Every structure is written in C-alpha cells, then in structure tokens.
Amino acid sequence: TQKRHYGKQITRCGNTIHTNGTLLRNRFIEFCRDNRINIGVSYEGEYSAGLRPGQDPAAIAETLRYMVRKGHMVSVATTVHGGNVDNMADIYHQFRDMRVPFTFSPSLKMGCGLDNEDTYLDADAYIKNSIAVFDEWANDADAPIPVLPFFQYVRSSLTAPNISDCAHSSCLMNWICVYPNGDVYPCGKACPEEYRLGNIMEVEHISDLFKSEGFRTILIDSVERRNECKECEIYDKCMGGCTIDAYNDGDPQSAGGFSCVTYKAIYGHIDAFLKDIMDNERDLSKYNRYIRDSIVGKLTNPNIITPM
C-alpha cells in the first residue's frame, strides 16, 4: 500500500521498527534493507542482562555485526540506569569497536522504571559519566560513530535544537503515537491518561485530535512551564524541555527535575567545549569528524540551521 501511494511521489515515507533483537533473523533483516526500513535495537552491550534477563548479549552483538557488515540502517538504544551508569564508558567502547551508532537513554521513574528501585538513576552519576564519555568521544579523531544525545547537543549548541532531539525542540503537533487499540497520544513516551488526544475511530481528521481536551491539557502544562523557564540562560536551546519528562519528575508545569538538571549540566559542558575550540582556533584535526564537520559548517554558514 505504501509503495502504491508513495512510490512515484516526491513525498518520502520512512519506516523504523524497534526490537530487543532476540527474534531478528537474517531473512527479515534483508527484507528491511531491501525496503529501506530502519532497525532499532534496545541493547546495553555486555550489561544487558541486568535489564533484559531474557536477552542473549553475545547473540545480539553478532546480529549487530552482521548488519554493520551488510551496510544496514541500524542503531541501538541503550538504557542507562542505576545498575550500569558507571559502565557508560565500557558500553561506548563496545559500540565504538563494533561501529554501531547508539543513543544513551536515561531511565526515568515511569513505567517499569517506577517499580524497580535498583534502576533509579542518580543525576550526579549520570552527569559525571556522560561528560567523561563525551570528552573521550569528542577527542578521538578516529571515532567511527556518532553518540547520541551528545551529537544532538553539539548541533544544538552550534545552530538550534533539531526536531530529532524532541525533548528540547518544542515537539507538540510534530508527533503522534497510535496505540494498538486506536488511542492517540502526543508522544511515544508513557503519557498519562489526561494527555490522551482521542481514538482514530472517533475522529474524521487528524487535526480533530489537536482540538481535544487532552491536547489542551498538555498545551497548558507546556506553556506554564515555559513561562517559568524563560529566564534560564539556555532556554533557547531547551524550550522548556519535555512535558512528559517534567510530569514524571513530579510537576508538568515546573522544571528543575532530573531531565532539566542533567540536560543543563551536560549541554553546558558541551557548549563550553565547542566555544573553547572556536574562540581559541584549536586544531580541528584532533577531534572526531562529527565535531569537525559541525564546526566547519557553522563557520562556513553561520546563519544556516543544519538538520541532523
């Protein structure tokens, strides 16, 4: 159906699947490549067992190596939690050596993370280890992969927040999440019931969802929080952050929780790092190509906001 409707049009329709990788087989992987379907895998490297006891880390690693060898579009989402936060550097080394791009996703007190105290993530520990990994990655001239969210923060520092960094780019009305039962929410995170926009069987047009009480509620919460955040020195690089994160930090109309504190510290370090390079005209050959290319792009076209 997608090929029939979009195959000969300029409009591009992209697809991504996300999996724990356990049931990925070569035949399905090849199908995804032939049809340009991105594959995302939830995986913490050799530290997966603590969060995913049914996962075979060695088998997942071999599957990822296969996809890299075959040139597949693949990335990994790595959940950072209380049990592996001090292993962030080891996790980076494993994915660097495998040449697999990945994202550090901090565990929040929501969903399963709320019920398991051993996964609670200390903000200071996450900040410390994130900065250490960023410094190593940024100063490795041969780093073969981008590391998110740090690369997103680099681009935000040099230009403006991109929609791919949805938590810091005013994402309302840019995303929707459709549940299997047809319920629609403004985000793929664990949204509370009061943010439910409706059900696809109840509306004639997608635009109707944004006239709902659920959207009105999340919009009011977002506006109130942004009004509080406007005096912050990095407001234009954050836009008040993510309403779902703030909700799970305790108050959707107020900042200052885990997500706010950690972003402010990590982004601030990265911003200072980049300013030092440009202000002192450092030798760019010492840094990885993601840092180099981003800085060169900024210096060449200072008024252009480049996409991720």
Q: pLDDT digit string (tens) for 62-109?
A: 999 999 999 888 999 999 999 999 999 999 999 999 999 999 999 987
At 172 the three-state DSSP class reads: coil
- Residue 300 within a domain: no
pLDDT digits (tens, 9 = 90+) for 289-307: 999 999 999 888 766 554 4
Residue 233 lies in a domain: yes
Amino acid code (one letter) for 287: Y
Predicted confidence (pLDDT) at residue 308 exceeds the cutoff of 50: no
pLDDT of residue 95: 97
Q: Is residue 55 one of the residues assigned to a domain?
A: no
CB atoms inside a 10 Å sphere around CB 17: 12
Domains held by the chain: number: 1
Taking only the tens place, the pLDDT of each residue in 25-53 is 999 999 998 888 999 999 999 998 878 88
What are the helix (H) ranges across the chain? 2-6, 26-34, 57-69, 88-98, 112-115, 123-138, 150-158, 206-209, 213-229, 243-248, 258-279, 289-300
Percent of the chain residues topping a pLDDT of 70: 92
- The rounded distance, in Å, linking the Cα atoms of 151 and 157 is 10
Per-residue CA distances from 258 to 4, 15, 127, 188, 225 (Å): 45, 31, 10, 19, 15
Confidence of residue 7 (pLDDT cuts 50, 70, 90): low
Supply the mean pLDDT for the chain.
90
Tally the C-alpha atoms within 13 A of residue 81's C-alpha that lie toward its C-beta.
24
Does any domain span residue 97? no
Question: Looking at residue 3, what is its pLDDT?
Answer: 62
Do 121 and 157 touch, CB atoms closer than 8 A? no
Is residue 70 situated within a structural domain? no
Model pTM score: 0.89
Query: Three-state secondary structure along 190-235?
Result: CCCHHHCCEECCCCCCHHHHCCCHHHHHHHHHHHHHHHHHCCCCCH
Q: In this structure, is residue 281 part of a structural domain?
A: no
Give the model confidence (pLDDT) of 270-292 as tens digits: 999 999 999 999 999 999 999 99
Q: Give a yes or no: residue 218 inside a domain.
A: yes
Q: Supply 170's token pair.
A: 């005013």
- Look up the domain containing 227 and give its range: 167-256
Q: Exposed/middle/buried for 170, CB within 10 Å: 0-12, 13-18, 19+?
A: middle
Domain assignment present for residue 235? The answer is yes
